[in-house]
Amino acid sequence: MAGHAAVMEAPTGFIRKYIFSIDHKVIGIQYLLLALFAVFLGMVLSAFMRLRLAWPEEKWPLLQQIFPQGFAGGPMTPEFYLAMMTMHGTIMVFFVLTTAPLSGFGNYFLPIQVGARDMAFPILNMLSFWITFVAMAVMVMALFATGGAPIAGWTSYAPLSALGQVAGPGLGAGQTLWIVSIAIFCVASLLTSLNFLTTTLNLRARGMSLLRMPLTVWAWFTTAMLALLAFPVLLAGGILLLLDRVGGTSFFIPGGLVVSDQLIPHQGGSPLLWQHLFWFFGHPEVYIAILPGMGVTSHILSTFARKPVFAYKAMVGAIFAIGFISYIVWGHHMFMSGMSPFSSMAFSITTLAVGVPSAIKTFNWLATLWGGQIRFTSSMLYALGFVSLFVSGGVTGMLLAQPAVDVALHDTYFVVAHFHIIMGVAAIFGIFAGLHFWFPKMFGRMMDERLGKIHFWITIAGVYAIFMPMHYLGVAGALRRYAQLTEFDFLRPMQPLHQFITVAAFVTIAAQLIFVFNFFYSMFKGKRAGANPWEATTLEWIIPSPPPHDNFGPIEPVVNHGPYEYSVPGAAKDHIMQTAPAEEARR
Amino acid sequence: MPLALAFFFWAMALITVALFIARVWWLPELASAHGGAIDDQLVLTLVLAGIVFFLAQAALGYFIWRFRARGSERASYWHENPKMEVTWTVATAILFIGLGIQGNRVWAKYILTQAPPDAVTVEVTGQQFAWNMRYAGADGKFGRTDPKLINDANANFLGLDEADPAAHDDVLTQNLMAIPVNRPIGVILRAKDVTHSFYVPQLRVKQDAVPGMGIRVTFTATKTGEFEIACAELCGMQHYKMRGRLLVMSDADYEKWLKDRAAAQ
Amino acid sequence: MPAATIPATGDLLRPGAGGPGAGDGSFGGDGDGGRRPSPRARQTHRLGIWLGLASVTMLFLGLTSAFIVREKLGGEWAEFAMPPLLVVNTLVLLASSAALERSKRALAGIVPSGARPAVSGVEVPPAYNTWLLAAVALGLLFLVGQAVAWQQLSARGIYLSTNPHSSFFYTLTGMHGLHLLGGLVALGYLTAWRGRLPLLALRRRTEATAIYWHFMDGLWVYLLLLLFVWK
């Protein structure tokens, strides 16, 4: 080719380079920083929740000075608790678990791993970040809204969420801002996923056939497909909910409601309709959060076990199967909702069916380790932690998938344990694994391994100490979304366990400062990283760390190998780069 | 590092399983006829899930220790093993689908059971933040209600229309429900403001009460005593203390209770 | 570049297709930054627009399912007759689509001249201008017509919150109108930049806009059938 014809010029001004950048790498880091802010906010909110759950009647003079309303009279008020709960769930699900693994890492590494110089539509990409930013800003506004932050939970079930301030504090302006923020977020996610799909399908390097793509790319691709088709349905629901609140319509509000002795002038809507629309999005959303983590884990296990991913094609098939089945399981959130019992039966079977591809993934991860030469970097520790958490959170799905068992477990702490372990903590471990793995590529410096390991140990022990006991609470009937569990005789004996969980949570939360320190310290003071510090094979490792603006400079990568050619017998080195000459694999 | 991590996964799995087996925290004591089947299904699934959980964590720990890097040795190179893959796919599919079918049988038996004609019928209406119970009284008919007539200040929580003759003998209580033991109970669940959920842990009954719907639940209590009715669906600020009392009593006691209440009204 | 060199979709599964920088990248300014134009760029634009339309479809499917559920519930569902003006509006929108199609085809016959055809400006054929402006005008006319139809309905006392049918009518037409407004922005962009864009870029963008615009036509007809014909 003609010299540097393909090289793009890098922008020079600060604003075009770092703020309104159209470089997918800068946008990826912007997303990650947004998620880092969000995860800290969400974590602080959860600390407040745990505080009240453990010591509901205790007075906190210091906190009362900071939040005179939230701690009116000394103890935390129940509405403050519910606001913390709602915002914790919302911020974590949307602005952390959707933003970091998909929009963050996906933006940075998907184009590089397929051998493209940027996303298919860079300006659209920049727009999606800034729209997400606006959504985040509106959500933070909801937190400080007049009348309080919303208290309807991240699921915002109608009619509670549709009736306005009359139904409770925070359900006025706060709830409206919540819906607006989510609607904006939907639009941003659509644009992102459209970009991901187009890039993967159309901008792959020469030789990068679909079955030579790293499993991370497959995971992002499938996730983008889920997001593209699931978020519009939430948007539809959000628009209808907003109209119910401000336009006087009755999509979700039935007739003849009397709230606080006031007759509500609405007619004939259906509360279950909101649940259906919400969960039609909500269940794929769970996989939007976890699929990228699965991809990252496969990628890292293979790299540090120095072995090819076991059954690559089955892994790709499983990702697709999970993605597809996730669209036909949403009713399992509604077994106790008054939906037809026959629908429950169908949803139960489809839900258990999603366990099959999930089990395949677990088996294949274990088989990937078998016969390996495992290198215990902190990134690998997180990936191994992911596998353990995925198993722990996954097996409880067998219980919750059955409507009969849900009679006992629905809306108890068993559910809280289940989804926190599998879509919360496991996904976060996926993020940590990815961050420690790709940090040298993104910033040109290594993260501190010792701090990384200390952080791993405290975190894994901490999360198990927090969430495992919740299973026992759930079996004993402890209900979620209770501002305190001391008002019922059957709940009171479990209070010591709640206090144990709270202590574990505080320790774990404090340990996250180690990570933050490591992250920012290493960014400036870390050991310099070479192009390929982990001796990995995929395309991001053939270019300098950090990569130039156009990723590959004058090189046109040509892919000759699959993504996980480690320990190939007879090869000179124990890993073969994807771009290595084709002969290298032969003896 | 590898040995420590292996030990961690093993210990975590052991402690988790041990605490389940020891039943330090366990299901509330059963007090209903259908609950036995639910408990059995729960325990069966829990045991299977526990076995899968334990084996997977144990294997993970073992592999971590066994396949730690040793010097410059090369890892073995294998891509796939179709026979093994098909085996575990089929095995998990049979396990999961079998469990699903068995679970659906338990579910169908519980949820599709209709209250027999001689069942005691109670209408339970949730509101922020209380349970309103209504018994049809001597005529066996519920009186007409109208949301326009609802007036909490006058204790007309349901908007009962006094003009309707059937309304006169309706027995109304708030946060208090009495039922006879060993007789089928048909509960009609309603809500007058937002969605609530009628939950009695010992009876293994949990069902949302949705505004605009009348949802039926049927059960038979098998133990006398006092139980708690909790709300299991977020309904607003005082969701956590939306507490009702359920009195399960002998047939004779129940009839007397109902008569006394009717007389007191 | 002639259409014959554009790889078919089946090609996606074969290794060796495409290359880095194959897409011309930016939505708003390809041809700059020294990027190579490529046969893939056209496909990228089309794929992008179709994926976008897939999500638009899901949005309206979500609203449709709400419509069906709500109608089944019955209650106060009081159906009002279709305002006759909507027939006129439909014809206007269809005409707008036809005009845009003519405009798009006006570019088809032109072979770019010069050594670096993709990056040199091109004399836009007058037929393109005429039909593009016609499409914009008709699109605007449709939106005005919709606004008038809303006006007529509210004059008859039918508002957003009057009954479920009217709620859905205003919601669905409103959402459609918003999407159409987006299309008009794209048409406005083409109108403003038509003289400055390289031929291939102009052609790609006209094509993508036309796909979107035709889809909005089909969507409108679908909504009309759903609101007033489907039972």
DSSP assigned state of B202:
G
**Same domain, residue pair B107 and B232:** no
Looking at the structure, tell me whether residues B131 and B259 fall in a common domain: yes
Same domain, B41 and B140: no
Question: How far A198 CA lies from chain C's nearest CA (Å)?
Answer: 6
Task: Find the domain containing B58 and state its range.
Answer: 2-68+80-111
Residue B148 and residue B165 in one domain: yes
When scoring C9, C12, C27, C73 by the number of chain A Cβ atoms within 10 A, the one with the most, hence best to mutate, is C27
Judgement on whether residues B125 and B232 belong to the same structural domain of the protein? yes
User: What is d(CA B92, CA A333) in angstroms, rounded to the nearest whole number?
Assistant: 23
Interval A250-266 mean pLDDT: 91
Residue B74 maps to a domain = no
Report DSSP letters for B221-241, one per residue. B-S-EEEEEEE-S--STTGGG
- Top-tier CATH class for C42-228: mainly alpha
B153-166 per-position pLDDT tens digit: 888 999 999 899 99
Q: B216 and B174, same structural domain?
A: yes
Phi-psi region of A311 (alpha: psi -120 to 50; beta: other; left: phi over 0): left
Find chain A residues with C-beta within 8 A of C29's C-beta.
Answer: 123
C11-42 pLDDT tens trace: 333 333 333 333 333 333 333 333 444 567 88
Q: How confident is the model at residue B240 (pLDDT cuts 50, 70, 90)?
A: very high
| C-alpha angle A130-C40-A295 in degrees, rounded to nearest 5 | 55
Mean pLDDT of chain C: 81
- pLDDT grade for A79, boundaries at 50, 70 and 90: very high
Residue C231, pLDDT > 70, answer: no
Helices and strands (H and E) in chain B: how many: 4, 10
Question: What's A151-195 look like in SS3?
Answer: CCCCCCCCCCCCCCHHHCCCCCHHHHHHHHHHHHHHHHHHHHHHH
Q: Report the pLDDT averaged over residues A127-145.
A: 96
Place of tokens 């076995």: B51
CATH of the domain at B160: 2.60.40.420
* B43 found inside a domain: yes
Chain A residue nearest residue C50, CA to CA? A194
Examine the pLDDT at A32 and tell me if it is beyond 60. yes
Partner-chain contact A404 B37, CB within 8 Å: yes
pLDDT tens-place string over residues A301-357:
999 999 999 999 999 999 999 999 999 999 999 999 999 999 999 999 999 999 999
The chains found to touch A (3+ Cβ pairs under 8 angstroms) are B, C
Confidence grade of residue C6 (pLDDT, cut at 50, 70, 90): very low
The answer to whether B79 contacts A257, with C-beta atoms less than 8 Å apart, is no
Interface confidence: ipTM more than 0.90: yes
Identify whether the C-beta of residue A190 lies closer than 8 Å to the C-beta of residue C52. Answer: yes
pLDDT in tens, A211-257: 999 999 999 999 999 999 999 999 999 999 999 999 999 999 998 99
User: What HEC string does chain C produce?
Assistant: CCHHHCCCHHHHHCCCCCCCCCCCCCCCCCCCCCCCCCHHHHHHHHHHHHHHHHHHHHHHHHHHHHHHHHHHHCCCCCCCCCCCHHHHHHHHHHHHHHHHHHHHHHHHCCCCCCCCHHHCECCCCHHHHHHHHHHHHHHHHHHHHHHHHHHHHHHCCCCCCCCHHHHHHHHHHHHHHHHHHHHHHHHHHHHHHCCCCEHHHHHHHHHHHHHHHHHHHHHHHHHHHHHHCCC
Greater confidence (A268 vs A530) lies with: A530
Rounded CA gap, C178 and C172, in Å? Answer: 10
B123 vs C198, residue with greater confidence: B123
Distance CA A135, CA A93 (A): 13
Task: Give contacts of A 25-64 with C, CB under 8 A.
Answer: none
**Closest chain A residue to the Cα of B226, Cα to Cα:** A489
- For residue B259, the distance in angstroms to the closest alpha carbon of chain A comes to 29
Contact (Cβ atoms closer than 8 angstroms) between residue A25 and residue A546: yes
Same domain, B89 and B189: no
Decide if C198 contacts C118 (C-beta within 8 A).
yes
pLDDT at A586: 56
Our CA-based measurement puts residue B169 at a distance from the nearest CA of chain A, in whole angstroms, of 24
B11 lies in some domain: yes
**A411 vs B27, B37, B233: nearest CB:** B233
Q: Does C201 touch chain A (CB under 8 A)?
A: no
A500 interface with B at CB cutoff 8 Å: no
Higher pLDDT among residues A494 and C7, named by residue: A494
A388 chain-B contacts, CB cut-off 8 A: 9, 12, 57, 60
Task: Say how many CA atoms lie within 13 Å of A295 toward its Cβ.
Answer: 31
Interface test with A, best of C12, C64, C159, C161 (most A CBs within 10 A): C161
The arithmetic mean of pLDDT across residues B95-120, rounded, is 94
**A464: which 2 tokens?**
């198990």
- Whether a cis peptide bond, with omega within 30° of 0, leads into A546 is yes
In the three-class reduction of DSSP (H, G, I as helix; E, B as strand; rest coil), residue B70 is classed as coil
Assess whether B57 and B169 both reside in one domain: no
Counting DSSP H helices and E strands in chain C, the numbers are: 5, 0
Per-window interface: A 135-194 vs C, CB < 8 A:
190, 193-194
| Nearest CA among A53, A82, A273, A294 for reference residue A167 | A82
Q: For chain C, say whether A253 makes contact (Cβ under 8 Å).
A: no
What is residue A37's predicted lDDT score, i.e. its pLDDT? 97
- Is the CB of B60 less than 8 angstroms away from the CB of A366? yes
Domains by residue range for chain A, with CATH: 22-248 (1.20.210.10), 267-525 (1.20.210.10)
pLDDT of residue B80: 84
Instruction: With respect to residue B10, please indicate whether it lies within any of the assigned structural domains.
Output: yes
C115 touches A at CB < 8 Å: no
CA distance C40 to chain A (A): 7
Instruction: Answer whether residue B73 is part of any domain.
Output: no
d(CA C130, CA C144): 21
Token pair of C177, please?
């109108």
Which residues of C fall within a CB distance of 8 Å from A231?
A: 55
User: Which residue matches tokens 């229309």?
Assistant: B161
Q: What is the pLDDT of residue A585?
A: 59
Supply the pLDDT for residue C114.
52
Q: Could you count the other beta carbons within 10 Å of the beta carbon of residue C151?
A: 12
Share of chain A above pLDDT 90, in %: 91
Helix, strand, coil shares, percent, chain A, to 5? 65, 0, 30
Q: Could you tell me if B137 and B222 lie in one domain?
A: yes
Among the partner residues A195, A236, A249, nearest to C161 by beta-carbon distance: A249
Asked if A6 and C43 come within 8 Å (Cβ–Cβ), the reply is no
Task: Indicate if the pLDDT at residue B218 is higher than 80.
Answer: yes
pLDDT, position C73: 82
Is any Cβ of chain C less than 8 angstroms from the Cβ of A451?
no
Asked whether residue A517 carries a pLDDT value surpassing 50, the answer given is yes
CB contact under 8 A, B193 and A258: yes
**What strands lie across the sheet with B171-174, from one edge to the other?**
B171-174, B130-135, B120-127, B184-191, B215-220
| Same-domain check for residues B30 and B61 | yes
The minimal CB distance from A236 to the residues C25, C66, C75 is found for C66
pLDDT of C10 higher than 80: no
Contact A117/C at CB under 8 A: yes
- Is residue B192, in this structure, part of any structural domain at all? yes
Q: Which of B195, B201, B215 sits opposite A477 (nearest CB)?
A: B201
* Distance separating alpha carbons of residues A132 and A33, to the nearest angstrom: 12
Average pLDDT score, chain B:
94
- Among A153, A337, A399, whose Cβ lies nearest the Cβ of B42? A399
CB atoms within 10 A of CB C129: 15
What pLDDT score does C200 carry? 84
Whether C12 has its CB under 8 Å from any CB of chain A: the answer is yes
CB A358 within 8 A of CB A394: yes
Does one domain contain both B246 and B208? yes
Distance from CA of C194 to the nearest CA of A (A): 20
B246 belongs to a structural domain: yes
- Please give the pLDDT value at position C21: 36
Structural domains counted in chain B = 2
Indicate if B174 and B260 belong to the same structural domain: yes
